[in-house]
Structure 1
């Protein structure tokens, strides 16, 4: 597999590779400085609530039942992924990529063992499953949801409040886990597997998006990198991995709708809007996800799709509002509890740049190296990468994501991987991506 610029001369190639080294070296320096300054803050008594800055993790070298499988998947994808992606029939290729990404994500989670790596992730006292038994009526839950966001720490009159992750998000996320419970998929094990399978499908959604904007060759080049995404460490298992896939499929439908004409395109645009609208009720931060469908439409100039997509978004917003949950009120309450949480002791002056070091672990060296090659990408792909960077910068500057962004920014990070299509020597970069993910999961015990 070759890069996107096979016609450039040797000097240009040399300069590009030198740029790769400079970009990765700068990221390494950023991570080291973030680690040193983070340790200094902890030693000075500043409770930044990080055991291994800039990540929310603890130093704990270990192996587990997922170790052999993770190594096998990494070797297989790095060795044969680029070739297979370049020649396989499209639809079977997408299913194969999803299966490989699921195997990669699950095996990484199982490095920590089934109980600690999968079951306990979503069933702790701060997670969604903890509050599922509270819901006897979905309608009542939605009507009263905002009334139980504030904690007794900020509202002493509060009788009870949602646990951290339930109250910190709109009810759409919690509602998904309530429905899983109603379907009999209760408990941390089934919920964890559902999240892994759903989150791993983002690789296929990114490929569908690229093909929808007329970049199938690029989609095939990017696909192995989406499969060996280092952020899979946190996709398995955190709900943010599910959020990433949900948003990505919404964008994928926008891209496919933009490639069609007539009623089919309009219906797909409406379906895209329904998915994107619901994404607003998964996480307040996903309002920044609107940059991605805009990037697709700006690149394709198929603005007619916007009307159908907006109609779908309006339907979802109207439904939640009619059910009793007003998004703006929920967000205002979350800002209050966030200001009174551990975020109060996390200095903005540190995290506004250390967060970039944290997200670098989810992106991996290949994505970092590819950032300086954006100009070599076709316009639709470049727009998507720029949208990812824009979303990350805006989320960073907002101060509403102090730490833990290695998982929180997964919905944006999966799009930055598109830049890897401009890299030469993909197998080498795939190995680098896999080595980083394996090192993180075997040397550290991550919380998510």
Structure 2
């Protein structure tokens, strides 16, 4: 095995960034620290394992053996099976593997702490669900309850997102799927499906061999730690399928491209009412439209997708919620909370260290191959998709509205980075896949993650 210079440099830089992010908080460097003007209790609660959100705790659970088994199976047979399976079977195997991998990692922390209890924590959506007795009234008054320090203000996660997120969990409750276990299962199923959406999109904008090379990496990516369970996994799944459907429509690889493009528009339109930051999914969408060879097909797909996305926005506006009002108010709410004591001097680069932890060293190495001018000029689909996701992450970082917890918050963008190892020499794939699997197992066994 011979590792190329570009991936070696990328991996070394990623490792250095991660080490620095973990070490710097203990060096007393003034503003270059996770928290300022904070008490020891706040440091314990919010920065114990910065740049990741969690607490140091070496532990094992009944999920440990299945997680190790899935990781070993992926290493031994993943790359070869990804080449031999029929495409349809491969997409289902990637989804089921991603789902099983994420669930096993969650079970390392136990059923209640690792899965069923995650979405019923005091800042989570499910705590707000019982208070919603009138959905139309909730939508009409949503913006007025975003700011903190008022009697009827929303709890943290509800206030920080558009109403689509809360609405989803209210609907689940209304159909009888109430409680943390059902909500967690929903987020796990939708979030893990993003792995399949990624390879479907890569196949549409690049080619099938590239998608097959990416399959093992997206199936057992370290992002799975935060896929099970967080609402952001649900957001990631919705956005990923929006991009995948757009890619299928724009590349004319489906029988009915216009309805598929409209479906993409509906999903991407819904996504921005789940998370304000998903407006940045416009960058991967643009990458898809640039990558496909047929300009007319790309414009036709865009023409079908945009009205569908607008229809979602109009529906919310008619119901009484204006996205722009919510976005303006949520910025004020953000600075009313712990963001005020999280200095940008640390988090501006430590956020990127958390990304490196979440995508794994193999994906970081793959990023070393993304900045290929020749490939970009010939509009290589995978290169453009990954670059678009990187650009979205940098924009989110520079906005100063994402300081800490980005291993969860940026899941919709990071899932695309997990496909980057497809650009590495196939002879090195098992080594980089091993780096990802070992990294995920180490994080989950030595850190009790908050999400």
Q: Which residue is 1:266 aligned to?
A: 258
- Cα distance between partner residues in 2 of 1:213 and 1:368: 22
- Asked if 1:76 corresponds to 2:70, the answer is no
Cα contact 1:370–1:419 (8 A) shared by 2: yes
Q: Which residue is 2:10 aligned to?
A: 23
Q: Which residue is 1:303 aligned to?
A: 299
- Give unpaired runs (5+ residues) of structure 2: none
Q: Write out per-residue CA displacement over residues 327-358 of structure 1, whole angstroms, 9 at most, x where no aligned residue.
A: 01111111111111100001111111111111
- Cα distance between partner residues in 1 of 2:200 and 2:136: 35
- Cα distance between partner residues in 2 of 1:387 and 1:77: 28
Q: Which residue is 2:445 aligned to?
A: 442
Cα contact 2:99–2:192 (8 A) shared by 1: yes
1:87-98 aligned at under 5 Å gives the runs: 87-98=84-95
Q: 1:224 aligns with which of 216, 219, 232?
A: 216
Q: Which residue is 1:146 aligned to?
A: 143
Q: Which residue is 2:365 aligned to?
A: 369
Displacement, 1:261?
A: 8.5
- Cα distance between partner residues in 2 of 1:415 and 1:91: 20
TM-score of the aligned structures, taking structure 1 as reference length: 0.93
Q: Which residue is 1:254 aligned to?
A: 246
Cα contact 2:103–2:228 (8 A) shared by 1: yes
Q: 2:202 aligns with which of 205, 210, 217?
A: 210
Q: 2:180 aligns with which of 188, 195, 202?
A: 188
The change in CA–CA distance for 1:370 and 1:107 in structure 2 (over 3 A counts) is same
Q: Which residue is 1:418 aligned to?
A: 419
Give the match's secondary structure for 1:118. Answer: helix
TM-score of the aligned structures, taking structure 2 as reference length: 0.92
Q: Which residue is 1:338 aligned to?
A: 334
Q: Write out per-residue CA displacement over residues 178-221 of structure 1, whole angstroms, 9 at most, x where no aligned residue.
A: 11111211100111111111111011101111222251111111
- Cα distance between partner residues in 2 of 1:273 and 1:350: 37
Q: Write out per-residue CA displacement over residues 355-395 of structure 1, whole angstroms, 9 at most, x where no aligned residue.
A: 11111111110111011112286711110010011001100
Q: Which residue is 1:179 aligned to?
A: 171
- Cα distance between partner residues in 2 of 1:435 and 1:400: 31
- Cα distance between partner residues in 2 of 1:203 and 1:318: 30
1:150-165 aligned at under 5 Å gives the runs: 150-152=147-149, 158-165=150-157
Displacement, 1:282?
A: 0.6
- Asked if 1:127 corresponds to 2:124, the answer is yes
Cα contact 2:51–2:351 (8 A) shared by 1: yes
Q: Which residue is 2:404 aligned to?
A: 403
- Cα distance between partner residues in 1 of 2:278 and 2:105: 26
Tell me how large the CA RMSD over aligned residues is: 1.7
Cα contact 2:53–2:449 (8 A) shared by 1: yes
Q: 2:106 aligns with which of 82, 104, 109?
A: 109
Q: Which residue is 1:137 aligned to?
A: 134
Give the match's secondary structure for 1:373. Answer: coil
- Give unpaired runs (5+ residues) of structure 1: 1-12, 153-157
Cα contact 1:384–1:418 (8 A) shared by 2: no
Displacement, 1:260?
A: 2.3
Q: Which residue is 1:290 aligned to?
A: 282
Displacement, 1:36?
A: 2.1
Displacement, 1:256?
A: 0.8
Q: Which residue is 2:386 aligned to?
A: 385
Q: Write out per-residue CA displacement over residues 255-310 of structure 1, whole angstroms, 9 at most, x where no aligned residue.
A: 11112289921111111100000000010110101111110001113222111111
Displacement, 1:325?
A: 0.4
Displacement, 1:109?
A: 0.3
- Cα distance between partner residues in 2 of 1:189 and 1:73: 23
- Cα distance between partner residues in 2 of 1:261 and 1:255: 9
**How many residues matched?**
430
Cα contact 1:30–1:357 (8 A) shared by 2: yes
The change in CA–CA distance for 1:427 and 1:342 in structure 2 (over 3 A counts) is same
Cα contact 2:363–2:418 (8 A) shared by 1: yes
Cα contact 2:35–2:343 (8 A) shared by 1: no
- Cα distance between partner residues in 1 of 2:443 and 2:406: 15
- Cα distance between partner residues in 2 of 1:212 and 1:359: 26
Greater shift in the superposed pair: 257-266 or 408-417: 257-266
Cα contact 1:98–1:200 (8 A) shared by 2: yes
- Cα distance between partner residues in 2 of 1:289 and 1:326: 19
- Cα distance between partner residues in 2 of 1:181 and 1:312: 27
Give the match's secondary structure for 2:422. Answer: helix
